[in-house]
Chain A
Amino acid sequence: MNKIPFVFYLLTMAGVTYLIRMLPLVLIKKKIQNKFLLSFLYYIPYAVLSVMAIPAIFYSTSHTVSALIGFFAAVVLAIRKKSLLTVAAAACGAVLAAEIIIGCL
């Protein structure tokens, strides 16, 4: 199978993403009233991020154990409403600490 050149992937994703953002801003002036569509659009980001995070997060580091610890740290801080930066940095720190300990065992 022939490999698709990178530039086609780039143009495809950039084009689709831009059209989604541009068309409503340029064309639509009224607010969406359809309750089902509004609800679907409300849930979509959370569903997408959840699917992308789980189970992939458990394979995002060298060890599943360190990933589990990083995930746990992220959830605890996220419940406490810490900023994105804080949560991400803490998860990385937890993974690093866990892997140093694992390396010493």
Chain B
Amino acid sequence: MTEQTSFIKGIKDGLPICFGYLSVAFAFGIFSYESSLSILQAVLISMTNVTSAGQLAAVPIITSGGSLFELAIAQFVINLRYALMSVSLSQKLGKTVSMADRFIISFMNTDEVFAVSSSNRGYVGRKYMYGLILTPFLGWSVGTFLGAGAGNILPAIITSALGIAIYAMFVAIVVPVASENKPTFYCVIIAVILSCIFKFTPVLNKLQGGFVIIICAVVASVIMAIVSPIEIKEEGVKDE
């Protein structure tokens, strides 16, 4: 198999991700500001994590003074999917990728970077991967800075409207799959019902948000993994 080694090709493939990240990170920045984190704190979180769902879950834990254990477990459960992507990516990396490169590339193995690198025919080389992850990292960092900064200067009616942005993106990720794949739909329904139970039941609604996410998501996923396990195909993971 051939190996994609062009840095320029990597940059070109990464730019669409970069633009997408600018807006998602902007929404995270706004959310951080509304959660009373400083601009510097929001940017530091983005530059060291690069994970939208994980970061969003972390903010309420941090601002409510939750425990480090709770934060660690929340990140572990929410970001566990990256382990699967890293396993898959490890078989996609070409000969030019050294062990040291793997330590750096894995830091930026996001859903989108994984998707694009997987879409390449053949192996991906080190120069291509560095080109691919460069602009998304910048977009993620700069977007957060702009969002957190804009939260300070935009009028309330605008920040209120932008507050829904990151949740709307979750809707945009979940709904297309859930509307065509029954098991995923049931998984979403179970998760939402559990989430609402925890939100509206006295006593239960005293639980830290991070634990609620873990409990609801793990229960819904375990139920569906038992009831409706996915089929394993040669090309990777395919649903039924």
In the bound complex, what is the Cα–Cα distance between A50 and B230 (angstroms)?
Answer: 19
Q: Are B169 and A28 in contact (CB under 8 A)?
A: no
Q: Are B161 and A14 in contact (CB under 8 A)?
A: no
**B15 located at the interface, meaning its Cβ lies under 8 Å from any Cβ of chain A in the complex:** no
Q: Are A84 and B174 in contact (CB under 8 A)?
A: no
Q: Are B71 and A17 in contact (CB under 8 A)?
A: no
In the bound complex, what is the Cα–Cα distance between A90 and B165 (angstroms)?
Answer: 9
Q: Which of A25, A46, A103 interacts with B109 by CB under 8 Å?
A: A25
Q: Are A78 and B176 in contact (CB under 8 A)?
A: yes
Q: Is the interface of B mostly helix, strand, loop or mixed?
A: helix
**A105 located at the interface, meaning its Cβ lies under 8 Å from any Cβ of chain B in the complex:** no
Give per-residue flags for A41-52: 1 if the beta carbon is below 8 A from chain B beta carbons, else 0: 111111111111
Q: How far is the CB of A54 from chain B (nearest CB, A)?
A: 5
B194-237, CB < 8 A from A: 194-196, 199-200, 212-213, 216-218, 220-222, 224-226, 228-230, 232, 237
Q: Are A44 and B81 in contact (CB under 8 A)?
A: yes
**A85 located at the interface, meaning its Cβ lies under 8 Å from any Cβ of chain B in the complex:** yes
**A16 located at the interface, meaning its Cβ lies under 8 Å from any Cβ of chain B in the complex:** yes
Give per-residue flags for B50-85: 1 if the beta carbon is below 8 A from chain A beta carbons, else 0: 110111111001100101100110011111111111
Q: Which of B157, B165, B187, B191 interacts with A62 by CB under 8 Å?
A: B157
> Looking at A23, A51, A84, which has the most chain B CB atoms within 10 Å of its CB?
A51
Q: How far is the CB of A31 from chain B (nearest CB, A)?
A: 7
Q: How far is the CB of B126 from chain A (nearest CB, A)?
A: 13
Q: Are B72 and A12 in contact (CB under 8 A)?
A: yes
Interface range on chain A: under 10, 10 to 19, 20 to 34, or 35 or more?
35 or more
> Looking at A10, A43, A52, A75, which has the most chain B CB atoms within 10 Å of its CB?
A43
In the bound complex, what is the Cα–Cα distance between A51 and B41 (angstroms)?
Answer: 25
Q: Are A99 and B49 in contact (CB under 8 A)?
A: no
A residues lining the B interface (CB < 8 Å): 1, 3-4, 6, 8-10, 12-14, 16-18, 20-26, 28-29, 31-33, 35-36, 38-57, 60-62, 66-67, 70-71, 73-75, 77-79, 81-93, 95-96, 99-100, 103
Q: How far is the CB of A102 from chain B (nearest CB, A)?
A: 10
**B173 located at the interface, meaning its Cβ lies under 8 Å from any Cβ of chain A in the complex:** yes
Q: How far is the CB of B233 from chain A (nearest CB, A)?
A: 11
Q: Are A20 and B237 in contact (CB under 8 A)?
A: no
Q: Are B83 and A23 in contact (CB under 8 A)?
A: yes
In the bound complex, what is the Cα–Cα distance between A90 and B85 (angstroms)?
Answer: 30
Q: How far is the CB of A66 from chain B (nearest CB, A)?
A: 8
Q: How far is the CB of B198 from chain A (nearest CB, A)?
A: 9
B48 / chain A contacts, CB cutoff of 8 Å = 10, 13-14
In the bound complex, what is the Cα–Cα distance between A3 and B87 (angstroms)?
Answer: 37
In the bound complex, what is the Cα–Cα distance between A23 and B3 (angstroms)?
Answer: 23
In the bound complex, what is the Cα–Cα distance between A77 and B157 (angstroms)?
Answer: 23
Instruction: Specify the chain A residue showing the minimal Cβ separation from B52.
Output: A49
In the bound complex, what is the Cα–Cα distance between A22 and B102 (angstroms)?
Answer: 7
